[in-house]
């Protein structure tokens, strides 16, 4: 699988990544994990997920899956939208200081 160096960094990852926006959708957590395993087995080492995907559940499935593989992958995320089940429905993006701090807490 072709790899690329991330701009402004020395980190390399696969040129093709796995997007988790519809990881669960109509699928179960087990089916979502099977998709992640298939992607990893195919050589994909870049995974994209966000708190708002699948009402926050996709982030949990990806996190569980990558826990033992963390040193082998790169992960990207986005923030600003709350999952509907946490926010009572989608809200407009909020990238103010407090929201940004909450989204990034624990990633020091």
Question: Looking at residue 69, what is its pLDDT?
Answer: 94
Q: Which of 64, 71, 78, 85 is catalytic?
A: 78
**Location of structure tokens 């020395």:** 10
Q: Assess whether 85 carries a catalytic annotation.
A: no
Global pTM value: 0.74
> What is residue 81's DSSP assignment?
P
Q: Name the token pair of 83.
A: 């999952």
On the question of pLDDT at 86 being above 60, the answer is: no
CB 97 within 8 A of CB 59: no
Q: Between 57-66 and 29-41, two packed helices, what is the crossing angle to 10 degrees?
A: 50
Could you tell me what percent of the chain has a pLDDT over 70?
71
Question: Looking at residue 72, what is its pLDDT?
Answer: 94
Q: How confident is the model at residue 106 (pLDDT cuts 50, 70, 90)?
A: low
Q: Assess whether 94 carries a catalytic annotation.
A: no
H/E stretch holding 25: none
Instruction: Tell me what the pLDDT averaged over the chain comes to.
Output: 81
């Amino acid at each position: 699988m072709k790899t690329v160096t991330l701009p402004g960094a020395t980190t390399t990852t696969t040129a093709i990544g796995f997007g988790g926006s519809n990881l669960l959708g109509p699928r179960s957590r087990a089916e979502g994990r099977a998709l992640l395993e298939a992607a990893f087995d195919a050589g994909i080492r870049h995974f994209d997920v966000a708190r708002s995907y699948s009402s926050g559940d996709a982030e949990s499935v990806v996190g569980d899956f990558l826990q033992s593989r963390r040193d082998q992958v790169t992960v990207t995320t986005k923030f600003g939208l709350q999952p509907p089940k946490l926010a009572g429905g989608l809200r407009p993006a909020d990238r103010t200081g407090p929201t940004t701090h909450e989204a990034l807490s624990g990633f020091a």
